[in-house]
Structures are given as structure tokens and as C-alpha cells.
A and B are shown apart, each in its own frame.
Chain A
Amino acid sequence: MNLTNASLKAEAASAFDLEKIRTDFPILKLKIDGKPLIYLDNAASSQMPQQVIDRLVRYQTTQHANINRAVHYLSEVATMEYHNARCKLQQFVNAREDREIIFTSGTTDSINLVMHGYGRKFIKAGDEIILTTLEHHSNIVPWQMLANEKGAKIRVVPINNNGELEVDEYEKLFNERTKFVGLIHVSNALGTINPIKRMIDFAHQHGVPVLIDGAQAAPHITVDVQALDCDFYAFSAHKLCGPTGVGILYGKAALLEAMQPFKGGGDMIASVTFEETIYNTIPHKFEAGTPPIAAAIGFGAAIDYLTTIGIESIAAYELSLLNYATECLNNIPGVKIIGTAAEKTAVLSFTIDGIHPHDIGTILNQDGIAVRTGHHCAQPVMQRFNVPATSRASFAFYNKKTDVDTLAAGIKTVQKVFL
């Protein structure tokens, strides 16, 4: 980072009203065993501001009915609010059209939709699917299932010792059999931000579509699907201060139209007889059954909340937290940070010499500190760094610098227990 950039980012961070933001999150007042909650597990799931909670309450108390069905007042209101939520997501990722946004149950569901809808229709025996070492299991397992079913092959992009993708190796993997690329935007285990624009462009030069797993990116980086020119982009609401049980799949309209439906049921049809079913148009073709209406509307409210603060301001502030935390942990002997990419979100995966991550997590919990310990659903990353598991502190824009200090003190307590 050059100096101009650094000072610009520092300025954005100082304009950011942290105390006001913290009062928006009721859960941050919680005490764990008498200690204030230090919530550093945001990469697993973020907390919800009062504005989103209120929106869910307002929906349930004054707007709820099933959508796309009846002609009564509530059904019309619910249908309109659900559609509004879709439009908010369209704007959030800068999609051309609202029908390119499919509501799913989350990132995993979105990826499975692409695997079933696109993969099972277009990928054949002998074809190759490129994935990366950094993928979450949710962007590995569906493709393995497809590869096993079709007799296709998975090719894997390696990473270097910093946890960065080896893009040259990625480019060498392409050949005439390459038919699909699945690529994580930001690594959940390490925080690495991948150079996805360059990788998407390269795939397109070979006529290969690209799915981006944006679960860890959308909360921290401005996503512009038109600028990226990705074919699919997936993420979940609950990592963006929204409810669990809902997420989106962005897909280019032409691709979505060419795909086969994933789930069959109500809402996804134009007409049904026992001889034949005509499918509905997109996005409805992919939203069988009653969708998570309340959660989708809450998702829309979360998008409003985040865009009011501004993803750029959030990113700048989180970068200052990351730099501070990196420095603090690097100063503790015996602590090793896993994942030291030049471009990172505010995720710190670390190990402590001689102490198992689960013991670290249990002892930190005693100080009210919530971190994730384990393999982070990214076992290939753990294998690459030759560790069974790590502890992971992942920060959100409502975390404070003193949270980092508490974490550092907690790590020293852990070391003392095991001395």
C-alpha cells in the first residue's frame, strides 16, 4: 500500500462513527460469564443490527402472507416487499436486471443450484472443472459429486506459502476439456483476496464460465458483477448482518435461462399437467416452493444498513483493525499467523506452538472471546499448511481496537495455562 492510499484509508476510517454503530447491535451488550462479549467469529456469521431486527418484526406483525398467489392485501404487500428485496440485491451487486437475482437458502444452496442446473446439463464425461486449494468445502463437494456422476475431472489451483493463489499455474490448467471454473473470492480460512477479475478474464478467453463464491467477500468488498463479468456470484445474508436461511445466486440471464431447474414444485412452473410441465421464467424457475420471505426482506434491510455506512468505509476501517491485530499477534512469541497474503480481509488464522486450537478456543471463551477453531470447512487449506486446525479471529466493522487487545491478552493467558 502506498502512502496516499494509506492516508486516504485512514481518513475514511476516522470518519467512521464506531460508537454509533456499536449501539446498533444489541448483542454487543451481552456478557459471557460476567465478561463483555468480544465477538471475533464474523467470518462464520455476523451479528444483526436493531434496524434489521425491527424490519423482521414489522414484516411479521404487519405484512406477512404467502407471495405470488392470492389477490388479498397482505399477499400483495408481501409480494411487493419480497420483490423490493430482490431489487436491493440487484443494486448491491450491480446486476443488469432483477431477474438475475435468485433467492436461495444461502451460498451452499446457490452453488448446488449451479451444479445441478448448469453442471448436470452441460458438463460431460472427460470434461474438466477448475477449483482452487482455497475453496470452502461447499465449492468442492458439489463439484466432486458432479465429477463422479459424469466422469469429469477436478483440477486444483495451488497456493503459495502466503496463502495466495498461483495464478500462473491456474492459467496452465486450461485446455480444450476445461468447461467450468469455481473460484472463491475471499478465503474464509485465511482472508486472502483473490485476483478474480484477471482469472475470470482468462477463463472467458477460453470460453469457460466462472462461478464466484462471494460468501466472505460481499460483506467487505464492493461487488460489481458487470465489471467483474463473472457468470455466477453467490453469497449469504447472515454474513452481511442479515438473517440465516437466505442468500442469493446472481447469474447472467442467458445462462440462467439455458439451465435446467434445480428443485421442482410450486411457483417455478407456468403450467402443470401429468403429461408435461412448462417452467416459469427466471428467477421463479429456480425458486420452487414458498421462499424464505421474511429472511429475504430482512436481507434487503441489511443491505440498506450496510450501504448507508458504505462498504468502502467498512473495508477501510476493517483494514486498520487487521493491520493492528497482525502487529499485535506477530509480537507474541509462539504465535504464528497462517495466511499472510498481500491482499487480505480482516481474518487472522493462527496457531500457538504446542497448544491445540480447541484448547485455545475454550480458554479464550472464558474471557468472553468468541473465535472459531477447527478446519474452517477448508481441509485442503489446512493440509497445505500441514496443520490439523487453526484458531481464527475474524473482524467486522463493529469490532474495536480494544477487542484486539483483549484477544492478545487472552492468547497470553492461554500460553500461561499451558506453560
Chain B
Amino acid sequence: MHTNSLYQEVILDHNRKPRNYGKLDHANHHAVGHNPLCGDRLNIALQLDNDQINDIAFEGESCAICKASASMMTAAVKGKSRSDAETLIHEFRELATGKLDANHPNHLGRLTVFSGIRDLPTRVKCAILPWHTLHAALNSLDNASTESNNDSAQTTASD
């Protein structure tokens, strides 16, 4: 693929001006995600009430792909129910690992801008890290890693 089709304006814009970036004072769920291959680290904080994501924020050190993915993810799941968020997590992982065709029915909307990542196996983990971390936060696991063993998306993302 051509890399330019990945570094589209929407991704560059979210990298420059990440949405929901920072701390969340009233958070009740947290997770830290890290990618040991590059040292990237992402903190996600949620305010989850009655299985509804009322607020979400992220911060950390990461590449443009990871930061834009995190920014667009937080915008997409804010206000959603836990189960809707889990659906998005599932679909995004399938999209990034090439198992879901963006032209087939899905709930991802503008997130399909990441469909080109499937052609860059070394970068799939960058895009997926925020979603791993969100999953961990929703399930109150303390840590997420792109190297976790028990994750089918991870297995596919390995190069």
C-alpha cells in the first residue's frame, strides 16, 4: 500500500489535536497499555456508571497512529454502553488485522480510516494498543500489553 493512504488528514489531525487527552479526576476504571517493542505507553481512564461510559480520557507517549487511534476511539465510545464499546473493540481489531472488510456492515464509521494498517504488520500493534487498553479498563485489569498471550487479535498482529 501507499503509506500516504494511512497518514490521512483525519489521522494527522487527531495526532496534532488529540481529543479527550489528559487526566480524568472522577474516573473509576483505569488501565495502562504498553508496547514493549517500541516503549510506547498509554493510560486510559474511564468513568463507568451502570455499564455506560460517561467519560473517558487518555494520555501517554506514542506514535501518531497510536495517538490518533486512541483519540478517535475515545470520541467513538464516549456515551456508549459497555457492550457497544466491546463491539467496537472487536470490530476494530478485526479491521486492523485484515479479518473485517471495511465495506462490510460494521459500526466503526470514520474509524475505517485505519483499514490500511493491515498492510503494515509492524504497525498493527500501534493502532490496536488503545483498544487493548480500553478492553482492560472496562474489565478492570490493571495492565494491557500488545504482547499478551491470551488475545486472538494479538496473535494475528504478531509479525
* Chain A contact residues, CB within 8 Å of chain B: 33, 355-359, 362-363, 365-366, 373-375, 379, 382, 388-389, 417-418
Contact = CB atoms under 8 A, between A and B. Distances in A.
B3 A363 contact: yes
B63 A359 contact: yes
A382 B61 CA distance: 14
Nearest to B36: A375
Contacts of A355: 64
Contact of B39 (A33, A366, A375): A375
Q: What 7 A-B pairs come out closest when comparing CB atoms?
A: A356-B63, A358-B63, A366-B3, A388-B39, A359-B64, A359-B63, A374-B38
A365 to B, nearest CB: 7
Contact of A388 (B3, B7, B12, B61): B61
Nearest to A419: B12
Contacts of B37: 374
Interface string B21-55: 00000000000000001111000000000000000
Contact of B64 (A365, A373, A418): A418
Interface of B: 2-4, 6-7, 12, 15, 37-40, 61-65, 120, 123, 126
A33 B12 CA distance: 23
Contacts of B12: 417-418
A359 B4 contact: no
A108 B12 CA distance: 40
A362 B123 contact: yes
A374 B39 contact: yes
A388 B65 CA distance: 16
Contacts of A362: 3, 6, 120, 123
9 contacts: A358-B65, A358-B123, A362-B123, A363-B3, A379-B39, A382-B39, A388-B61, A417-B12, A418-B64
A359 B65 CA distance: 8
Nearest to B3: A366
B40 A366 contact: no
Contacts of A358: 38, 63, 65, 123, 126
A418 B61 CA distance: 17
- Of listed A362, A366, A374, A418, residue having the most chain B CB within 10 A: A362
A96 B38 CA distance: 42
B38 A388 contact: yes
B147 to A, nearest CB: 14
A363 B7 contact: yes
A389 B38 contact: yes
Given A362-B3, A374-B38, A418-B12, 16 more contacts: A33-B2, A356-B64, A358-B63, A359-B64, A359-B65, A362-B120, A366-B2, A374-B37, A375-B38, A375-B39, A379-B39, A382-B39, A388-B39, A388-B40, A388-B61, A418-B15
Contacts of A382: 39
A76 B154 CA distance: 48
Nearest to B1: A33
A355 B126 CA distance: 14
